[in-house]
Chains A and B, each alone.
Chain A
Amino acid sequence: MSPESLLLAALMVPVLGALAIAACDRWPDLRETATIATAAGLLLCVLSLLGPVLAGARPQLTLVQMLPGIAIAFRIEPLGMLFALVASSLWVVNSVYSIGYMRANSEAHQTRFYVCFALALACTMGVAFSANLLTLYLFYEGLTLITYPLVTHHGDDEARRGGRLYLGYLLGTSILFLLPAIVITWVVAGTLDFTSGGILGRGLSNAAIGGLLALYMFGIGKAALMPFHRWLPSAMVAPTPVSALLHAVAVVKAGVFAVVKVIVYVFGVDRLAGLASVDWLPFVSGFTIIAASIVALRSDNLKRRLAYSTVSQLSYIVLSASLLTPIAVFGAVLHIAAHAVGKITLFFAAGAIYTASHKTEVSQLDGIGRRMPWTMAAFTVGTLSLIGIPPAAGFASKWFIFSGAAAAGDYVALAVLTVSTLLNAAYFLPIVYAAFLRPPAAGDAPHGEAPPSMVLAMFMTSALVLGFVFYADPLLALARAVAGMSGS
């Protein structure tokens, strides 16, 4: 198939898959087969696109003219390719995991769950491949709405409250800040197409550039920049597979993806470099990194701790993109992938612990490593990556982010990164310690390992974390292309 038809297939496969899943409502086994087949089909499409894109092809597709001069259009460039690759490959693993989790916990409305999941992936592909801001915005909002039934899956009062915060923050920021930012961009630039070097040119004063950047950065609520981060912990009321793929990978990465996209392809790194009016961004993201880490340190609930860790890690990406040196942008792009595999592993483990033992708090985990050795081994691998210890994936991206901060001569950023690495260790390592080295609390109900499909999923993502060096080449090549670095 030509790259153009592959692009269309990547967008359509999850939609058709959702229809197939809905049609198999009465036959759960067939339905789960449809989910796995859809996920595999999508991964196949995306993998077949990787070669051409690495070779320099930029497949394009224009669907329909939404407004005069602005079409719903797609164009695959390296950053979108990387994001699509991360999301689609982890969806396969996550589907395996979901089946174990949803069945073991006897969740209701499983068909709705899988349909929304597939549609959420369709929106994610739309975000990843969007050729202009309006298309990105369309699928960005679609992603918020289609994940709402997933967040509120349990349908109780807690889910409803979580759903309110989720929608309120995400739609609120995107309508209040992001939409006006896009309209202003349209008025100033006369185009919304993502273009290397940016589209704004010299049309705005330096102060106005700073204001517009603020509208974008806070408008993209999915990047969870403080003070608009509270939707992410609220989204943890969702079943764990949702937290794992959507709120550690697809949704939040759509946010930071949009941030990088806006900085690189709308403003242009060169336009922003050296502007005093954009100096606030490293501080805001740096503050988010530290503050979220401290909240994580103080949270006893495991999923909440992971959520705040995500808030902090997302700001790593925003911070390093805002340093505006090629190597830092490179690190930011790489961190999208590295954090995704590490964090999904941690969420998988949290869900496995819940499924096997119904424990949700960190303080209950004493000695659990003896009963669930596979799960806690995977958890340990995840923490290594999050802290940034070689050979885990997180080490590579952190290395480049540190280098970028050093190259930019930004000592504040360096200090933030160092302190946060220590904080990461402080909130993750005690869990590992307690799980393996503390004796179990007396009176703990005995339980075994999580269902095999969940263990298999954790094994796969752990392998992705540890084997990063073996498949890193295409990712590095894509990240290099985004950062505009030539050669190796």
Chain B
Amino acid sequence: MIAENLPALQVVVPLLAAPLMVLLRRGSFAWLLATLVSWTAFAIALALAFKVREAGPISYAMGSWPPPWGIEYRVDALNSFVLVLITFVASVVAPYARASVAAELPRDQHYLFFTMFSLCLAGLLGITITGDAFNLFVFLEISSLSTYVLVALGRNRRALLAAYQYLVLGTIGATFYIIGVGMLYLMTGTLNLADLALRLHEVHEMRPILAALAFITVGLGLKIALFPLHFWLPNAYAYAPSAISSFIAASATKVSVYVLLRFYFLVFGMPLVFGRLPMAQILIALSVLAVVSASLVAVFQRDLKRMFAYSSVAQIGYITLGAGLANEAGLTGAVVHLFNHGITKGAIFMLLGGVSLRLGSTSLERVAGLGKTMPLTSFGIVLGGMSLIGIPGTAGFISKWYLVLGAIEHGYWWLAALIVASSLIALVYVWRFVEMAYFRAPEPGAAALGEAPTSMLVPAWIMVAGCIYFGLDTGYTVDGAHRAAQVLLGLVR
């Protein structure tokens, strides 16, 4: 019974937890429930991934309405990989959030925070698991609306402005997406993604399809923070509560990239997107611009959260770059970088949360001497930074390897050179932190503050350990990403 309904439970469990939290209005209960829900969701995601690996894709008919009439939940090698990433991050962030939220938010908002967190998780999981284009929009809105609230909860008043910016741009993105889906529905009469892919071949009038592709690309581009649609991201990451910075940095943009991959490769199909249209060239050009310009901007940031937020824009560029390469190595690199960058940025933002808790700020000047005052936090950020640079032995290296491989297999030598050159820019901004933390004396008084609370440090270090572990043993990540790439290329179902 439970085993059969796992795809539904994946979304329903966090979705039902949210109203319970509102009813009880107790911060500590809400935290406990959110943690349990995250762990349950993680277990479900692992079970689904295992089932998909053993027995192939799972199709689940919501309310027993068969697709394409009812809503289909469909789990394959691609989205089960994304589900595992999101639920893993959530189940590490949830325990972390307790101390972090207690320090940053007034008591009467705690239950709201965890309610929104559960809703956001439900939304992200729903986007990932659903096989229905309109259902996807609904979940996109659930996750977006809850994220706007979460960002606005940040204790700095600028969080309100950041949330407002995100709200405006996010709504435009969602609207563009639904306009695109509407056009597809007009032309094909179906909303089921697999069905759409089949019926698109029968459509002779291409103009509305191309318009739909354009709307969906721009809409999702806003959600992904694909250059030059990234303006909402640095503020949102910098001013949101720390737990949320780490959660959305590790998951929200990744899910949108997944949707883009699904639409490009499995709905519109490669002949249209990369054959008739120059989307490969456009994606590669935008990605290169993102990587280079955002990395350079990161170098000149004076606040660590903003610095690593711009670094995220650059790293998202690596992911879309792999998508634009559209070969097996490039796509493996893109999907594995979803995971690797997710845990790397998750780790860094969780550690920065500890910094902001103790020092009250994450500006570069304030972290002087952090290597002495908060040695574990500081060293964790350095290790995460290594993964951003792509030092061998860290998760980031694995992604870079596949992206360079993908570029070389295409014969794009200049691109391979750009990928490795851009990691040197990452070296520059990571080393700004290193020199500040290890070569400056701490400010008087800072030494007495000590390390971040254990309940924050342990989850953060689980992520840091992941950055190293998945750089050495890639049995799970590369294998999963490779299967996902094969699904995208239509080599396996």
A66 pairs with B391, CB closer than 8 A = no
B128 contacts partner chain A, Cβ-Cβ < 8 Å: no
Known contacts A141-B391, A183-B408; decide if A65 and B401 are in contact (CB<8 Å). Answer: no
Which one of A164, A183, A184, A186 has the greatest number of beta carbons of chain B within 10 Å?
Answer: A183
B420 touches A141 (CB 8 A): no
Chain B contacts for A183, CB-based, 8 A? 401, 404-405, 408, 416
Given the complex, which residues of A lie within 8 Å of B420, measured CB to CB?
A: 175-176, 179-180
**A171 near B472: Cβ-Cβ < 8 Å:** no
Q: Which of B392, B416, B472 is close to A137, meaning CB atoms less than 8 Å apart?
A: B392
Q: How far is the CA of A145 from the CA of B386 in the complex (A)?
A: 10
Q: Are B392 and A134 in contact (CB under 8 A)?
A: yes
B409 CB–A CB distance under 8 Å: yes
Q: Is the interface of A mostly helix, strand, loop or mixed?
A: helix
B377 within 8 A of A: no
Residues of chain A with a CB closer than 8 A to B398's CB? 66-67
B393 pairs with A142, CB closer than 8 A: yes
The verdict on A23 contacting chain B, using a C-beta distance below 8 Å, is no
Tell yes or no: B443 within 8 A of A by CB. no
Report yes or no: A67 in contact with B474, Cβ–Cβ below 8 A: yes
Check if B354 is an interface residue, CB within 8 A of chain A.
Answer: no
A136 → chain B closest CB, angstroms: 10
Which of B420, B424, B482 is most buried by chain A, counting CB atoms within 10 A of its CB?
B420
Q: Which residues of A are found within 8 Å of B401, using beta-carbon distances?
A: 67, 183
- Residues of the A chain whose Cβ atoms lie less than 8 Å from the Cβ of B427: 167-168, 171-172, 175
Nearest-neighbor residue (CB-CB) of A144 within chain B: B391
What residues of B have a CB within 8 angstroms of the CB of A176 in the complex? Answer: 417, 420-421, 424
B120: chain A residues within 8 A (beta carbon): none
Residues of A close to B408: CB separation below 8 A: 180, 183-184, 187
Q: Is A64 an interface residue (CB 8 A)?
A: yes
Nearest A residue (CB) for B479: A68
Is A172 in contact with B435, judged by CB distance below 8 angstroms?
no
Which residues of chain A have C-beta atoms less than 8 A from B390's C-beta?
175
Q: How large, as a class, is the contact surface on chain A?
A: 20 to 34
**Bound-state Cα–Cα, A65 to B482, Å:** 15
Are B391 and A65 within 8 A (Cβ)?
A: no
A159 CA to B438 CA, complexed, in Å: 12
- Closest chain B residue to A134, Cβ basis: B392
**Contact B472 A64, beta carbon cutoff 8 Å:** yes
With an 8 A cutoff between CB atoms, is B478 at the interface?
yes
Cβ-neighbour of A66 out of B389, B438, B473 (below 8 A): B473
Within 8 A of B (CB), among A379-427: none
Which B384-406 residues have C-beta < 8 A from chain A?
A: 386, 389-393, 398, 400-401, 404-405
Q: Is there contact, CB below 8 Å, between A180 and B417?
A: yes
CB-CB contacts of B456-493 with A at 8 A, as 1s and 0s? 00000000000000011111001100100000000000
* Cβ-based interface call for B439 (8 A): yes
Q: Are A68 and B482 in contact (CB under 8 A)?
A: yes
Q: Is there an interface contact between B416 and A180, defined as CB atoms closer than 8 Å? A: yes
Chain B residues near A138 (CB-CB < 8 A): 392-393
Say yes or no: is A370 at the interface (Cβ < 8 Å to chain B).
no
Q: How many residues of B contact A (CB 8 A)?
A: 32
Q: Are B424 and A179 in contact (CB under 8 A)?
A: no
The distance in angstroms between the C-alpha atoms of A69 and B366, with both chains bound, is 46
Residues of A with C-beta under 8 A to B475 = 65
Bound-complex Cα distance A3 to B29 (A): 58
Cα A175 to Cα B400 with chains together (Å): 11
Interface check A58, CB cutoff 8 A? no
Tell me whether A311 is interfacial, beta carbon within 8 Å: no
| B residues in contact with A64, CB < 8 Å | 472-473
A144 to chain B, nearest CB (A): 9
Task: Specify the chain A residue showing the minimal Cβ separation from B469.
Answer: A64
In the assembly, what is the distance between CA of A444 and CA of B421, in Å?
52
State in angstroms the CA–CA spacing of A171 and B434 once bound together.
15
B231 sits at the interface (CB 8 A): no
Whether A68 and B435, one on each chain, are in contact in the complex, defined by CB atoms closer than 8 angstroms, is: no
Shortest CB distance B443–A (Å): 17
- For residue A159, which residues in chain B have a CB less than 8 angstroms away from its CB? 439
Given the interface pairs A66-B472, A68-B478, A175-B420, the reply to whether A186 lies near B392 with Cβ below 8 Å is no
Is B431 on the interface with A (CB-CB < 8 A)? yes
Structural contact, A145 and B424, CB atoms closer than 8 A: no
Q: Give A471 to B149 CA distance when docked, in angstroms.
A: 74
Residues of B within 8 A of A180 (CB): 404, 408, 416-417, 420
Asked whether A160 is an interface residue with its Cβ less than 8 Å from the other chain, the reply is yes
In the assembled complex, the Cα of A65 lies from the Cα of B427 at a distance in Å of 27
Closest CB-CB distance, B467 to chain A, in whole Å? 15
Q: CB-CB contacts of B314-357 with A at 8 A, as 1s and 0s?
A: 00000000000000000000000000000000000000000000
- What distance in Å separates the Cβ of B401 from its nearest Cβ neighbour in chain A? 6
Chain A residues within 8 Å of B438, by CB? 155
Known: A141-B391, A176-B420, A180-B416. A66 touches B474 (CB 8 A): yes
Q: Which residues of B contact A322 (CB under 8 A)?
A: none
Known: A68-B478, A180-B416. A175 touches B439 (CB 8 A): no
A72 contacts partner chain B, Cβ-Cβ < 8 Å: yes
Closest to B386 in A: A145
User: Does residue B235 face the partner (Cβ distance < 8 Å to A)?
Assistant: no
Q: B393 — which chain A residues lie within 8 A by C-beta?
A: 138, 141-142
CA distance A168 to B424 in the complex (A): 9
- Which residues of A are found within 8 Å of B80, using beta-carbon distances? none
B439 touches A152 (CB 8 A): yes
Query: Chain A contacts of B391 at CB under 8 A?
Result: 141, 145, 171
Set of chain A residues within 8 Å of B439, measured between Cβ atoms: 152, 155, 159-160
Q: How far is the CA of A66 from the CA of B421 in the complex (A)?
A: 23
Is the CB of B100 closer than 8 A to any CB of chain A? no
The contact string, 1 if C-beta is below 8 Å from chain B, for chain A 356-394, is 000000000000000000000000000000000000000
Q: State in angstroms the CA–CA spacing of A66 and B386 once bound together.
A: 17
| Inter-chain contact B404/A179, CB cutoff 8 Å | yes
Instruction: Indicate if B423 sits at the interface (CB-CB under 8 A).
Output: yes
Give residues of chain A (233-253) contacting chain B, Cβ–Cβ below 8 Å.
none
Shortest Cβ distance from A241 into chain B, in angstroms? Answer: 21
Interchain CB contact (< 8 A) of B431 among A65, A134, A142, A167:
A167
Which chain A residues border B400 with CB–CB below 8 Å? 179
**CB-based nearest B residue for A179:** B420
Report the bound CA distance from A180 to B421 in whole Å. 11
Per-residue CB proximity of A169-208 to B under 8 Å, as 1/0?
0011001100110011011000000000000000000000
Residues of chain A contacted by B482 (CB below 8 angstroms): 68
28 A-B pairs, CB-CB below 8 angstroms? A66-B472, A67-B401, A67-B478, A72-B472, A134-B392, A138-B392, A138-B393, A141-B392, A142-B392, A142-B393, A160-B435, A160-B439, A171-B389, A171-B424, A172-B427, A175-B390, A175-B420, A176-B421, A179-B400, A179-B404, A180-B404, A180-B416, A183-B401, A183-B405, A183-B416, A184-B408, A186-B405, A187-B408
Residue positions of A touching B, CB distance < 8 A: 64-68, 72, 134, 137-138, 141-142, 145, 152, 155, 159-160, 164, 167-168, 171-172, 175-176, 179-180, 183-184, 186-187
Known contacts A66-B471, A138-B392; 14 additional CB pairs below 8 A are: A65-B473, A65-B474, A66-B473, A67-B478, A72-B472, A142-B393, A167-B431, A168-B427, A171-B389, A172-B427, A176-B420, A180-B420, A183-B404, A183-B408
List residues of B whose CB falls within 8 A of some A CB: 386, 389-393, 398, 400-401, 404-405, 408-409, 416-417, 420-421, 423-424, 427, 431, 435, 438-439, 471-475, 478-479, 482
Top 9 closest pairs, chain A to chain B, by CB: A138-B392, A64-B473, A183-B404, A160-B439, A175-B420, A141-B392, A138-B393, A176-B420, A137-B392
